[in-house]
Structure 1
Amino acid sequence: MRKQLLTIIATGLTTLVMAGGIVTNTNQSATYVRMLARDASTSIDAVYFNPAGLVKMENGFHLYLSNQTIFQKKTIENKFPLLNESKYVGDVAAPLFPDFYAVYKKDKLALGFGIQPNAGGGSAKYNTGLPSFEIPVSVIPASLTANGITTTKYSADINFDGSSVFWGAQINASYAINDMISLSLGARAILAKNTYNGFLKNILINPNQPAFGANYNGANMVPATQFFTDAANTLNAWSTGATSYYNGLEPIVNGGGGSTLLVNGTSVGLTSDQITQISGLLVAAGVPQSQIGSIDIQTAQATLGAAAPVFAGKSAAMAANATATADKEVDAIQTGTGYTPIIGANLTFGDKLNIGIKYEFRTKLTLTNDTKVDGTGLFPDGGKLRYDIPAILSAGFEYKILQSLRFASGFHYYFDKDAVIESAPGVKKDIEGNLYEIAAGLEYDITDKILVSAGYLYAKTGVGKGFQTDLTHSLTSNTVGFGGMFKVNDNLSLELAGLFTMYNSDSKEIDYSAYGVPSAIETYNRTNVLFSIGAAYKF
């Protein structure tokens, strides 16, 4: 039962939102949302996408601010046969996902500054929990039934609500060596914060074992913790009684009364109440009621002697189950700081073709727990978890087909395998391969003041089945974006954009032999919708 919230510790929740690799967000401007290919940008969002291209901007001071509102629905379906429901839905919301950029350009030199949510940026809520939370609860009825206590139903209140944001603050310096080549050098500081609030409580079952209490008759849904506590107390009393009667029958057996039938025990000194109690213990030990009349005292003594440690062992197991099914809550925060070196180059060929190249080094990141409540024992206060942001190589070009029509394309490669991403302290997650993206976009000037654009992005994950879990999974996807920009005047422009992502579902076969089920298929899917608004101003 300690596994209920185990998946939480593995996530870091950094895949809540949205484009990019298994950790990284690359949706870092409204311009990106409407075009999806910004790797050769020479506008102000080049602070993030193509820092070396900032030298192509006009001299002066430039500001940019945008926000994205993101809605994502994650659907997990698990075919484990004992679950009440097979489908679980998580709603991800990020009403605020802002990007801020500032650039100062003077001749061959450009200085850029940016603040953006490089990972996370949203909150996820699973009102009915997840399969990994519920499966350990769902096996309780079958487990009890297999041990002679017929149980057919269960219910539980399960909830998980988490949020994550990895803020990045970066600076870049870009220099034009000549009209064709410019280079950039920069760094980003990552401030990471995950919050976790979850509970598993009010586990109810309908056991049929009146010997542990009259209420346990199979018709009533009762608290599992109370049932297991009453069972432990009853079994402990049986163990104590069996031991006591075993010792009490010793003189009778040694005195030659062992062959006397138990039901005739008053003839050798037993009281009627003692005979009734011993008979009840024998039935509890598995002797059929119909055979009690034929058991002699010596057999009864041996049976009680063997039953006493069995009762004691079952009492201890029931006590452990009482603890395991008690309400569990988690209220914890994880924080960490990391640094990312960034280098880039921009190549310009005439007045039509521009190429941007950027490499972000791996961000080594360790998250530290600040725990207020931890009913699972999985979030020790001060505990640490490694969660790197993988290195990224991006390259792209922009080509001016006509004076009013531009085509852009980009390629992004995430070095996921090289990153240390832990599912638990000291346990690195299994990542088979790296993720890559291919993007293309068109931008068209309708007038001098109005332009429209559209883009497409294909993301191919390479993590493999071992990485996928109900709360942390990476899916291949296709994204389309669209939008436009309006130039209010020579200094101010406004943008509106939206995108929609279609994910390819993935599934894996999970070994559940520990729960008495050989395996079951778990399927992952999601949908994503995003709206954005942005403004750029030049002084």
Structure 2
Amino acid sequence: MKLRTAAILTLLTSATSFAGSIDYLSQQDAEYLAHPSMVGKIGVSGAYYNPAGLVWLEDGLYVQINNQTHLKTYSMNYTDSKGENLDFKSDKASPLVPSIQIVKKLADRAYFFNMGAIGGGGSVAYSGGIASFPQLTESSPLLEIIDTKFLGGSTIDGQSYYVGIQGGIAQKFNETWSGAVSLRLVDAEKKFKGSGDFTYNKKLVDALLAFKGINEKSTGKAKYDIDSERTAFGVTGIIGLNYHPNEKLNVGMRYETETKLDFDTKESKLRKGFRESAGGNFIGDILYDEMGKSTAIRQWMVEGSGRRNLPAVAALGVSYKATDKTTLLASGNYYFIKEAGDDVGNFDGYNNGYEVSVGLDYQLNEKWTLMTGYQYTNTGANEQTYTDTDYVLDADMYSSGVKYKYSSQLDLMGTYSHIQYRTDKSVKGIEYKKCVDAIGVSATYKF
């Protein structure tokens, strides 16, 4: 069954990655932007973060609707052999990143549902191309021999959306322990579209053509023109445990299996475009093959299939009510990236990634609660792994929020996070930067 219906795409076309590791998105609701330490907390958000803890809610039907707005700036910089700094920047905002959680709690059992953008890098638009274009012309010996130069390019549009629909059941075992099982369906789509203009030494190539007896005439220029789409579907198994010995302490645990995503890649115009713009098959194929040596571009060129699985995840969290008004939170996620299946070489050089976070809830009175938190993300990526279409940088996340109890049935929340990524440079000399400000709102209604 296809999940990528028009309605779902309308909701999720602004998703963006700022927390998590290797395609995963940790921020599944607005409360995460107030304090990322959600794994040990009991609440409706547990439909994703701590499903086994849902049995400790009061009986009833809960519906929570969230939206996040992400103001983000991504940039890459390359200093060419002449010392010129070339900047490529995307500041495309994501105004609509929704998710929904539904929980039905009755006696010792809870049923739950969650839908949102479980992974992907969202949408970006880099004006003038990407940094790999000029870098490639100076790193490929063959392109250097024929004096290939990058003139500039169109806006490069990239999209990466993983729609996740999850449902399951939680059961109380005794007065302190509970467990949960669930399945998640993941529908993934990646797109890469844009062009770049290049020149090369026409006289040298024409002489080479004549020497080889090839009846072609080069043009001295070439166009990189691509419109690539990759799609995959996968299933994740999830188990959870929760330890709740008293009203002060709660410990939540969650494990997600590796999600097999065998991507089908469709791209048909790139080789043809090189041949037509460069003046023939010989020089067109040289340019196409050399472009294919770039890890940033290769995955978008290959016809057919290739795995890029979501890794298994283990999560652990604790909440502790230190006083009547103060609740302390801590949690962590661990991503088993090195064991994840990958046919294209995307994960080569990666280490396993992790996140650690702390948080605090302070109840001012019966109506208002203040929240704050911090998270450090180590993605497992390093200078060996960064590409223009896949650079997941380590980050520091500073969060705050406020919850207002409008009535006994309705809770409203507003949250904010600033995510400061740690600027890094690839082994190819390209410097990558990111910065995101995220605003969340939610409403939770108990029927």
Which letter does structure 1 place at the counterpart of 2:358? A
Q: What are the equivalent positions in structure 2 for 1:135-534 lying under 5 Å apart?
A: 135-137=135-137, 155-201=151-197, 203=198, 224=199, 228=202, 312-313=210-211, 319=217, 322=220, 325-371=221-267, 373-374=269-270, 375=273, 383-422=304-343, 424=344, 427=345, 429-510=347-428, 521-534=429-442
- How far off is 1:121 after superposition? 5.9
1:110-134 residue CA offsets vs partner (Å, 9 max, x unmatched): 0001101011262111102222122
Moved more, 88-97 or 30-39: 88-97
- How far off is 1:71 after superposition? 2.2
CA distance in 2, matches of 1:82, 1:94: 36
1:74-127 residue CA offsets vs partner (Å, 9 max, x unmatched): 222223314753332233532221111111110000000110101126211110
For residue 63 of structure 1, what is the aligned residue in structure 2? 63
SS in 2 for 1:45: helix
Which letter does structure 1 place at the counterpart of 2:409? N
* TM, length-normalised to structure 2: 0.83
CA distance in 2, matches of 1:367, 1:152: 32
CA contact (8 A) 1:386 1:420 kept: yes
- How far off is 1:522 after superposition? 2.6
- How far off is 1:531 after superposition? 0.7
CA contact (8 A) 2:263 2:305 kept: yes
* TM, length-normalised to structure 1: 0.70
Inter-CA distance 503–136: structure 2 relative to 1 (3 Å threshold): closer
Which letter does structure 1 place at the counterpart of 2:33? V
CA distance in 2, matches of 1:131, 1:327: 16
Q: Number of residues paired by the alignment? A: 409
Q: Which has the higher helix share?
A: 1
CA distance in 1, matches of 2:155, 2:83: 16
Are 1:89 and 2:76 an aligned pair? no
- For structure 2, the residue ranges without an aligned partner over 5 or more in a row are 1-13, 275-287, 289-297
- How far off is 1:171 after superposition? 0.7
Which letter does structure 1 place at the counterpart of 2:228? A
CA contact (8 A) 2:23 2:121 kept: no
For residue 77 of structure 1, what is the aligned residue in structure 2? 77
* Identity value in percent: 26
1:109-168 residue CA offsets vs partner (Å, 9 max, x unmatched): 00001101011262111102222122345789x978x78xxx998623243101111010
- How far off is 1:450 after superposition? 1.1
SS in 2 for 1:35: coil
For residue 284 of structure 2, what is the aligned residue in structure 1? none
CA distance in 2, matches of 1:61, 1:485: 20
Which letter does structure 2 place at the counterpart of 1:313? F
CA distance in 1, matches of 2:214, 2:126: 34
CA distance in 1, matches of 2:139, 2:310: 37
Inter-CA distance 429–350: structure 2 relative to 1 (3 Å threshold): closer
CA contact (8 A) 1:431 1:464 kept: yes
CA distance in 2, matches of 1:129, 1:160: 5
CA distance in 2, matches of 1:137, 1:231: 16
CA distance in 1, matches of 2:413, 2:204: 66
Q: CA RMSD in A?
A: 3.0
- For structure 1, the residue ranges without an aligned partner over 5 or more in a row are 1-13, 204-223, 236-309, 511-520
SS in 2 for 1:86: strand
- How far off is 1:231 after superposition? 7.6
Q: Which has the higher strand share?
A: 2
Pair member with larger Rg: 1
- How far off is 1:431 after superposition? 3.1
- How far off is 1:326 after superposition? 2.5
